[in-house]
Amino acid sequence: MPIVIVKKGQEAKKVKPTPVTQEDRLQKYIQENPDVIPLDDLREDLRLFVIAREFPTRGGPVDALAVDDEGAVYVIETKLYKNPDKRLVVAQVLDYGAGLWNSFRDDPGIEALIDKVVGQRLGVPLREKLREVFGLDDEQLASLMARFQSDLQSGRFTFVVVMDRLHDQLKDLIAFINSNSAFTLLACELEFYQYGDWEIVIPKLYGGESSKARSAPLTPGARRRWDEQTFFEDLRARLGMSVEKRIRELYEYVRGTADHIAWGTGASGSFGPKYDWISRRSVFTVFTDGMLQVNFGWLNDDEVAVEFRKKLKEMLAERAGLNFPPDYEEKYPRFRASEWVGRVTEIVRGLSELVGGHSKGTAGEPG
């Protein structure tokens, strides 16, 4: 289906989809841009990292093996609509899952085995790469790796089929499997468009809502749905009323200006403001241990998001004295409470200058 692109003051341009002729292109694109798969239906602001393409198993190589920021395992299979065996894609991805499970279910040295396979590509052990990518401290990293290894050994996977176009039979099959089995099976359709120097990708996810509706924690108390009351109760218990008061000042500001507040579902509580005119993702995330995570890495939706990312970095450096790496655009830097809560009032003033010209529901309208 064509899309229409309109630049202010210029004539509208109709752009047709760009055909995908090589399956390798889908694999490579997912590896380099895993967040293009819209997994928010499973969990708000879920982040994905592709460990390897063509990951070897006893059942054959998995097109892509991935892990999210809580340690859940994803088995990804790519297929082109023109491929004559596309009807077999569900059987294939489940077969690869079985091969992956058989490769690790009786082996306690999972981490060493994976490092042997992917260490050269990553350049560092998997554990350290995940610490870097997700910005984890020692406790968070240990929790993620425990879940990752447990899911590999128990065969608890999320299966994702990625295609340039989905056929109706596959959509029906996914809905049936998710409703009548313990499997979590998703399908993602990626439409590519080319406009000048811009490559535009429109993703559509199928199966996410039914999976979310019946999802359950891996272990009792491991995950939960947070809200304003439970977040601040846990924050107060951890850090005291003084820190709670300062973080609440920031929360009250974004609650009044953001289009949405995303509440986390992890063992630690979190909230993140979403401004539709900037990005479909949270611009930053605050955790109940007082950690502030600035989500530069996914503020790349369009020129508006990229420009806001630059201004946000400059504001936080100037107003809060926070230091960022040269390649901050690709990072999710974290700061402990002691590094930023004392400057909350200055941060709120800076945010007001950045977003104050926009009101809720004005997505895409420049201020």
| pLDDT tens profile 16-26 | 888 888 888 88
Query: pLDDT at position 306, please?
Result: 93
Query: pLDDT at position 364, please?
Result: 35
Sign of the four-CA dihedral 211, 214, 219, 222: positive
Q: What is the mean pLDDT of the segment spanning 55-77? A: 91
Q: How confident is the model at residue 12 (pLDDT cuts 50, 70, 90)?
A: confident
User: Contact at 8 Å (CB) between 135 and 163?
Assistant: no
Q: Is the predicted pLDDT of residue 213 greater than 60, yes or no?
A: no
- In one-letter notation, the amino acid at residue 332 is Y
Q: Is the predicted pLDDT of residue 365 greater than 70, yes or no?
A: no
- Which run of H or of E encompasses 97? helix 89-104
pLDDT, mean over the chain: 86
- Residue predicted with more confidence, 356 or 34: 34
Give the percent of the chain with pLDDT over 90. 42
Query: pLDDT at position 311, please?
Result: 96
DSSP label of 284: E
Classify 223 as helix, strand or coil. coil
Q: Is the predicted pLDDT of residue 363 greater than 60, yes or no?
A: no
Range name among 102-111, 227-236, 275-284 with the lowest pLDDT average = 102-111
Query: pLDDT at position 366, please?
Result: 30
- Which run of H or of E encompasses 93? helix 89-104
Q: What is the mean pLDDT of the segment spanning 135-152? A: 85
Q: What is the mean pLDDT of the segment spanning 279-303? A: 90
In terms of average pLDDT, the best of 149-153, 222-226, 358-362 is: 149-153
Query: pLDDT at position 360, please?
Result: 64
Give residues with Cβ within 8 angstroms of 205, minimum separation 6: 37, 38, 39, 41, 186, 187, 188
Give residues with Cβ within 8 angstroms of 104, minimum separation 6: 110, 113, 152, 153
What is the pTM (predicted TM-score) of this model?
Answer: 0.71
Q: How confident is the model at residue 234 (pLDDT cuts 50, 70, 90)?
A: very high
Give residues with Cβ within 8 angstroms of 364, minimum separation 6: 276, 277, 304
User: In 305-326, which positions are buried (b, 16+ CB within 10 angstroms) versus exposed (e)?
Assistant: beebbeebbebbeebbebebee
Classify 156 as helix, strand or coil. coil
Q: Is the predicted pLDDT of residue 222 greater than 80, yes or no?
A: no
Q: Is the predicted pLDDT of residue 116 greater than 50, yes or no?
A: yes
User: Contact at 8 Å (CB) between 272 and 295?
Assistant: yes
Helix axes 110-122 and 89-104, enclosed angle (nearest 10): 120
Give residues with Cβ within 8 angstroms of 30, minimum separation 6: 36, 37, 50, 64, 76, 78, 162
Give the percent of the chain with pLDDT over 70. 91
Query: pLDDT at position 210, please?
Result: 60
